[in-house]
Structure formats: C-alpha cells, structure tokens
Amino acid sequence: MSENVALPPSQNDVRPKYTESPNPGFVYGRKVAETPEGEAWVDGERAGWKTVDGATEDPARMYALMISGIVPRPIAFVASVSEDGVENLAPFSWFNQVTHNPPLISVSCSARPEGGLKDTASNIKATRGFTVNIISEPFVENANVTSLDAPAEVSEWPLTGLTKEPSTHVKAARVKESAFSMECELFQSVDIIHPTNGKHTATLILGLVKCIHVRQDVLNERGVVDYAKLRPVARLGDITYARVGDGFRLPRPSWKIEGEKIGEFLKGIEQGKSEAAL
C-alpha cells in the first residue's frame, strides 16, 4: 500500500471478543477444501508459487518479504542505558519469549548498515540491564517515534511524552504507561555472522526476566492477562501496525481423551489402503 493513499480514521472504540474457532465441526483427517472457506483458500494456489532463494536474494528484498510474511509480530519496546548514562528507548518486532523456566525472552537487533551495533544492543552488552514494555493502542504513536535513527547521545524519551518509572532490579526505567513490563538482565548475546561474507549482521539478545510489572485492570479472574483489556499492537509488513482482533477458543487435544478415537481413525486409514491394494 502506498504511503500517500488516504485512509479512513482509526476505529478506536473497536474491542475484540472471544468467538468459536473458524471451523468448529472439524474432525480428524478432514481436508481443508471440505469447507466453503477452505475450498476458496486452496483454490488460491492456482495463481502459482514464487520461490525465493535466501542465498542470492537482495538482503533488502529479503527483509521486506520476511517482515510481510512473518506476521503478526509482537513488539518489544526496549529501554536501555549506555555506559555514559544516556537512556535509550526503541521498538523491536524481532522479539518473542524463549522459555518460562527460567523466564527468558529474545530480542534480535540488526547491525547498522555501515557496520557496528545499534544503541540498544550496545547498551545491553555494556550495562546488562534493560526493560521490555508491551505497547498498547492508546500510546502506539508515542512509541513509534522512538524508531527514529537518532544519534547515540540523544535520548528518545523526551520525544515520546511517556513516563519513566524506576525499575527495582535494573538501571533502565520501565514505561509507566505500559500495562505489562519486564525487567530483564542480559543472559546471553549471540553475534550473528553471515555464513558467506563473514559480516556481523545482527545480535541476538537473550534476557532473563527478573520481574514483571502488570496492571491489575488487564488481568482476568485467573490472574493472567486478558488480551482484550491489554489491547497490544503488533507489527505487519513495511510501516504497518495492527490491533489484535477477535480471539477464538481452540482447546489443545489430549491423547488421554482422544487417543482411542485417533487410533480408530488411523486404523481405518490403514484398512482403506489394504482394500485399495486388492
């Protein structure tokens, strides 16, 4: 989509809700095309495929393709402090949780085009402590301004209008307006080296979560976050963000409960193969 296209106003009163899954009548082995929506989806393959070679594709094109296809991506709004005390704030959508025990998160920071670490990776390697704050819809513009390519000696905090809240375990502040913030300590950093040209292209940061600050008003009756109350934003391709839409409830199958039924289904498949071979 062109950046110059006129867009309708944001519907800020839209709230997500929980619904059934798209195909609640699913049974084991059912083909995707057996539902009207699934049939239309499978029919899209008639347009053919484009295959992209990761070794030869232009890195800028590979970047654009990957961030458009790996969606939606959660955003780590990372606050860090340099050795000289400059406080940095920046968003990263190459982010996720790694494990809950010990509680670890990952943030990938690409290197500068001219080479060298970006401020966030440099700060975390030097001072080790940082915070990861989840961005909610009401302050997404505030957070987006920190994607500015400001010089290392310039702090993004004053530009945002956001509030610094002192952390309890690390030097870096957390964003008070964020309803879910994690204080983290560097667990491990991994320099990503290009296998062909040997260039340092990114740094993977693994952060040990020392504590979580979560607002009471975004918790449900079970004491965990209700995404409809948190209203997190995600990244899509190019400069596009997204709000989270309706969530559908889809239980994870249990072999203890479903094993016998699955066994009968698989037995039926084998029996059909045997009969077809006769």
196 pLDDT higher than 70 = yes
pLDDT band at 13 (very low <50, low <70, confident <90, very high): confident
Helix, strand, coil percentages, rounded to 5, for the chain:
30, 30, 45
Q: Enter the tokens of residue 82.
A: 């340099």
Encode pLDDT of 135-186 as tens digits.
Answer: 999 999 999 999 999 898 999 999 999 999 999 999 999 999 999 999 999 9
For the chain, percent of residues with pLDDT exceeding 90? 87
pLDDT band at 275 (very low <50, low <70, confident <90, very high): confident
Task: Give the CA-trace dihedral at 207, 208, 213, 219, to 10 degrees.
Answer: 90
Q: Say how far apart CA 50 and CA 55 lie, in whole Å.
A: 15
pLDDT band at 277 (very low <50, low <70, confident <90, very high): confident
pLDDT, position 58? 96
4 pLDDT higher than 80 = no
Looking at this protein, which amino acid is placed at residue 134? I
Q: What is the mean pLDDT of the chain?
A: 94
Q: Enter the tokens of residue 56.
A: 């030869």
Encode pLDDT of 74-92 as tens digits.
Answer: 999 999 999 999 999 999 9
The answer to whether the bond into 24 is cis (omega within 30° of 0) is: no
pLDDT band at 2 (very low <50, low <70, confident <90, very high): low
- 138 phi and psi, to 5 degrees? -60, -20
116 pLDDT higher than 90 = no
Q: Say how far apart CA 50 and CA 48 lie, in whole Å.
A: 7
pLDDT, position 1? 65
Looking at this protein, which amino acid is placed at residue 264? E
